[in-house]
Structure 1
Amino acid sequence: MRRPVVMGNWKLNGSKAMVTELLNGLNTEVAAVEGVDIVIAPPALYIDQAAGLVKEGGNKLILGAQNTDIHNSGAFTGDVSPEMLKDLGASHIIIGHSERREYHEESDEFVAKKFAFLKENGLTPVLCIGESEAQNEAGETEAVVSRQIDAVINHCGIEAFNGAIIAYEPIWAIGTGKAATAEDAQRVHAFIRAHIAKHSKDVAEQVIIQYGGSVKPENALAYFQNPDIDGALVGGASLKADSFAAIAKAAAEAKA
């Protein structure tokens, strides 16, 4: 039985005061939630502060991060390594987010290198995949997500998806207020799982596949009630303790 994962991607948002307020509130809100892994991914500058607050709250939350480099040390100004993230207590690392792919021109192959390096360092990759609005309208969704997954398979082998997470985020639904219907999301998730199963049924059965894209308390349960949707990668709603906790509670309810 797959255990759902609800992860909050804070993106470029935060301050010391905001981190304290948000995590104190979240620690209280999720204290009684069971059956779901709840992960937060603050900006790198606030990971250490967040780690202390997570510990104070009883370690109900799991610490993550939004990106990584493909080196652990060296002359790579401005980058953050898996080794550093691990040292601070982060375990779940987002890679391949559409914003990184677009704004930093990260290719499928480069994302696959990040995936491999995170696995090498004993961390959990959260691989973001998804199509643009134009690709969706052209009926290219399956081709796009297949290509993004295959880049990892070709570089790392199918077994690398053991213990990893895939986050299907249609780009047209990220931060737009638009969202795929639960039925459409399930269809794509089922396709992703079937695509992986072509290589290994065992790997496909255990891999966590999240949905991301304007997930809110109002629509979360509809997503989580589908058999191939194993939680969510949450953006804006993760910046409010009550909203993010409500999504986590919906995942726990659906699992139960």
Structure 2
Amino acid sequence: MRKPFVAGNWKMNTDCGSGVALAKAVVDGASALAGGSVDVAVIPPFVYLSAVGQAVSSSGVALGAQDVYFEAKGAFTGEISAAMLKDVGCTYVLCGHSERRHVLGESDELVNRKLTASLSGGLLPILCVGELLEERDASQTEQVVERQTRAGLAGLSAEKVSAVTIAYEPVWAIGTGRTATREQAQEVHAFIRRLLAEMYDEAVAQEMRILYGGSVKADNAEELMGQEDVDGCLVGGASLKADDFVQIIEAAA
């Protein structure tokens, strides 16, 4: 039985005070569930990781980072290594979020290097995959998701890949108010699980958690997570409101 996982990606939002207050409110609201029946993570901007990390340190709520660089150290101005993230208390890190891919131009190869570096640095990566609207309209969803999944996990053994979570986030549903239907979400999640079985084996496929991301809200989370292959949610805007985020966590439980 895969344990549900709900992660809140704050993106480029909050300041230090509001971020700490939000984290504390999530801890207060989800303390009975976080780390027990549901894995929960908050993913604030880099500059607030330490402060938010302190706010959640004695709870079951984990800390995650929105990105990572693939080198361990060196002359890479503005970049953050896996060791640095680990040092400030991070457990998880996003790799290949759609905004990194489509706004900032990250390639599949770069995402793979970041994911590999995350594992080497002791972090648990969340590999994000998903298609653009024009790709879905052209019936290319499976083609795009397969390419991103195979490339993102390239070179990883079955043992190493067991530490990875996949998040399917249709780009056309992120921040648009549009959400994939439960049938659309289940269809792609099931496809990813079949792909993992092909790439590795059935045991790996059944153990790996696959999250849905894309305009997840308190009023649709239970329906989405009620699908057989949807193991949780990567939440954007709704994670910035503690009450909404806690309701999503409760739906996962």
Coarse TM-score class (shorter-chain normalised): over 0.9
How far is 1:54 from its partner?
0.6
Contact 2:130 2:169 in 1 (8 A): yes
Tell me if the contact between 2:4 and 2:231 (Cα under 8 Å) persists in the aligned partners.
yes
Partner residue, 1:71: 71
**Contact 1:113 1:155 (8 Å CA) reproduced:** no
The range that moved more, 21-30 or 172-181, is 21-30
Maintained 8 Å contact 2:127/2:152: no
Structure 1 position 26, deviation (Å) = 1.1
- What is the deviation of 1:158? 4.6
Q: Find the counterpart in structure 1 of residue 38 from structure 2.
A: 36
Unaligned runs of 5+ in 2: none
Superposition pairs of residues 105-120 of structure 1, within 5 angstroms: 105-120=105-120
Given candidates 45, 49, 52, the residue that maps to 1:50 is 52
Gaps of 5+ in 1: none
Quote the offset at 1:159 in angstroms.
4.2
Q: Which amino acid aligns with 1:6?
A: V
SS in 1 for 2:219: helix
Deviations along 1:140-197, whole A, 9 cap, x unmatched?
Answer: 0000000001113433345432121000000000000000001110010000000110
Q: 1:157 to 1:147 in 2, by over 3 A?
A: farther
The amino acid that maps onto 1:196 is: L
Question: 1:20 deviation in Å?
Answer: 2.2
| Superimposed CA distance per residue, residues 211-253 of structure 1 (whole angstroms, 9 cap, x where no aligned partner) | 000000000000111110010000000001100010000000x
Letter in 1 for 2:239: S
Q: CA deviation at 1:60?
A: 1.9
Tell me what 2:97 maps to. Answer: 97
Structure 1 partner of 2:248: 247
**Counterpart of 1:12?**
12
Q: What are the equivalent positions in structure 2 for 1:110-149 lying under 5 Å apart? A: 110-149=110-149
User: 2: CA distance between counterparts of 1:216 and 1:172?
Assistant: 16
Deviation at 1:120, TM superposition (A): 1.0
Matches within 5 A, 1:148-187: 148-187=148-187
Give distance in 2, aligned partners of 1:166 and 1:195.
12
- TM-score after normalising by structure 1: 0.95
Quick check: 2:221–2:248 contact (8 Å CA) kept in 1? Answer: yes
User: Aligned to 1:90, what secondary structure does the other structure show?
Assistant: coil
After TM superposition, the structure 1 stretch with the greater mean CA deviation from structure 2, 19-28 or 206-215, is 19-28
1:12 Cα offset (Å): 0.2
TM-score (norm 2): 0.96
Corresponding residue SS for 1:48: helix
SS of residue matched to 1:154: coil
**Corresponding residue for 1:234?**
235
Is 2:31–2:59's contact at 8 Å kept on the other side of the alignment? no
How far apart in 2 are the matches of 1:223 and 1:148? Answer: 22
Question: SS state of the match for residue 150, structure 1?
Answer: helix
Amino acid at match of 1:238: S
Give, in whole Å, the separation in 1 of the partners of 2:3 and 2:168. 17
Q: Which amino acid aligns with 1:164?
A: V
Q: Secondary structure at the match of 2:192?
A: helix
How far apart are the structure 1 equivalents of 2:77 and 2:27? 34
Percent identity, aligned pairs only?
Answer: 45
| 1:215-226 → structure 2 map (5 Å cutoff) | 215-226=216-227
Number of aligned residue pairs: 250
